[in-house]
Amino acid sequence: MEKLSQRKKFVIAVICAFWASIGLNIQMTVFSIKQLQDNAGIEGMHSWFRMIWDIKMSLSGYSVKELILTALLVLVFWKAFQVTERRIWKISILPAALFAFFEVFGKSFKETASWGEVFDTSRNMVKAGVKYVGLFLLFYVICVIGIYYLREKNWLTTAKREERSWFTHNWKSLFVVFALILLMWLPYAVADFPGLTN
C-alpha cells in the first residue's frame, strides 16, 4: 500500500467501504422469479438480470443510517491504508477469512438450520459470495488496525518474554481462556445485538 498515491488509496477505500456496506446489508434469501418479474415489471428476464435484480431487492436500501455507516467505513479503510507494514497485512488474512466464513455460514444455519442459503441455487452462491467478500474486507481492516494498535502499544512485543507466562494453572489461566473465547465471539455478538440492525 505504500506505493499508491493518496488519491488512489482514497478511491480504493471508497470502493471497499461500499462493498463492505453491501456485505453488511444484503439479505441471503432468494426471491422467486414471479416476485422478481412483478418488482421489475419485465416478463421473461434473462438469468443475469434476475441475479442482479435479486441482489438489488435483497439490499435494505440506503437510508441515512447506511450512508453514515458507509462514510465511517471509508474513514476506517482510509486509516487502515496508512499502515505500511506488510507483515500486519499478511497475518490479518486468516482471521478475517475465518470471521467472514463463520458469519456467512452461521447466518445461513441460524435462519434455515441448513446451508441452503449458501448452496441451493446459483443466485444463493453469488449472494453468499458478495456477502462473504464484503464481510472479509470489513474484518480484514479491523484486524489490520487492531494488530497495528496492539503493536504500537507494545502489547504484542515485550523485551521480557521469559517472565510472562499466560497459562500458570491458576485463575489467571481461566481468565485468559475466557477472554480469548469472548474475543472470538465478539463479531457475532456485535452483529446480532438487539436493535443494531432494525
What is the pLDDT at residue 65? Answer: 77
What is the pLDDT at residue 156? Answer: 59
In the chain, the amino acid numbered 58 is S
Give the integer Cα–Cα distance in Å for 97 and 102: 9
What is the pLDDT at residue 198? Answer: 44
Per-residue model confidence as pLDDT tens for the chain (198 residues):
557 788 888 888 889 888 888 888 887 777 777 777 777 777 777 777 777 777 777 776 667 777 888 888 898 898 888 888 888 888 888 989 988 888 888 888 777 777 777 787 777 888 888 889 999 999 999 989 988 888 877 765 555 555 556 666 677 777 777 888 888 888 777 776 655 554
Torsion of CA 123, 126, 130, 135, to 10 degrees: 100
| Nearest residue to 146 (alpha-carbon basis) of 191, 83, 103, 100 | 83
| Nearest residue to 101 (alpha-carbon basis) of 115, 83, 84 | 115
DSSP state of 161: T
66 phi and psi, to 5 degrees?
Answer: -70, -35
Residues 6+ away with beta carbon under 8 Å from 99: 135, 139, 187
Q: Within 13 Å and on the Cβ side, how many CA atoms surround 44?
A: 0
DSSP state of 85: -
Give the integer Cα–Cα distance in Å for 198 and 95: 27
Residues 6+ away with beta carbon under 8 Å from 135: 20, 23, 24, 99, 100, 103, 104
Specify whether the CB–CB gap between 23 and 137 falls below 8 A. yes
Q: Which three cell numbers, joined as nine digits, stand for 30?
A: 432468494
What is the pLDDT at residue 53? Answer: 73
| Nearest residue to 126 (alpha-carbon basis) of 26, 8, 35, 193 | 26
